[in-house]
Amino acid sequence: MIKHAVTEYPVQDFIARRWSPYGFANREVSEADLRSLFEAARWAASSFNEQPWSYIVATRAQETEFSRLLSCLVEANQEWAKAAPILALGVTTHQFARNGKPNRVALHDLGLATGNLVAEATARGLSVHQMGGILQDRAREIYGIPDGSEAVTGMAIGYASDPDSLPEEIRRRDLSPRTRKPQREFVFHASWREPF
């Protein structure tokens, strides 16, 4: 299933096709495709080329590891994300390795890397559903995430399922229309809230 965005201005097709399904098909993702997603993340821009992002990944084929990573998601996300063939956590480090000073754009840079990953996934016919609902302390404990770094987001990666095969609640979410604020509500000039 593809849910094209209705855009105000033209964008690349893969941007209009990107969406975050709750339902994932029972279909594995090839290792080559998965490696390409993280290669796209690898080449994201970052402040001073610091690349402060890391990812922890588990595939459903690795049952024990998949269960461990699934347990780092809040219960509501576990309910639907368990169907995805791949789960991941996005982690960032908050200090520059080169001088130990705070990196105030570390979260931004993780977002850029993950944006690249999502764009590559969409171009390959895959879907990524990102989640803020993770258990950071549990992730730190299970994976030994060091002080100065933190798990920020979760991701479910796979192929979107046919909505007709989903439980009613998830089916409703996946069939709901895609909406976004118009540009005039977030692109400003001259002063705050004055539309560009």
| Rounded Cα distance, 64 and 57, in Å | 12
CA 76 centroid distance within chain:
17
| pLDDT above 90: residue 51 | yes
The answer to whether residues 29 and 86 touch, using CB atoms and an 8 Å cutoff, is: yes
| pLDDT above 70: residue 186 | yes
| Rounded Cα distance, 10 and 90, in Å | 30
- The per-residue pLDDT for range 31-50, each reduced to its tens digit, is 999 999 999 999 999 999 99
Give me the mean pLDDT over the 161-174 stretch.
Answer: 86
With H, G, I as helix, E, B as strand and everything else as coil, classify residue 60: coil
- The per-residue pLDDT for range 3-29, each reduced to its tens digit, is 889 899 999 998 999 999 999 999 999
User: CB under 8 Å to 150, separation ≥6 — which residues?
Assistant: 91, 92, 94, 136, 140
| Bigger pLDDT: 173 vs 141 | 141
Least confident residue range of 34-38, 159-163, 168-172: 168-172
25-161, CATH topology level: NADH Oxidase (3.40.109)
- Crossing angle for the helix pair 31-42 and 106-123, nearest 10 degrees? 140
Q: What is the pLDDT of residue 1?
A: 64
- The per-residue pLDDT for range 66-121, each reduced to its tens digit, is 999 999 999 999 999 999 999 999 999 999 999 999 999 999 999 999 999 999 99
pLDDT confidence tier of residue 171, bands split at 50, 70 and 90: confident
- Whole-model pTM? 0.94
- The per-residue pLDDT for range 144-159, each reduced to its tens digit, is 999 999 999 999 999 9
Q: Is the Cα torsion angle 36, 66, 173, 76 positive or negative in sign?
A: negative
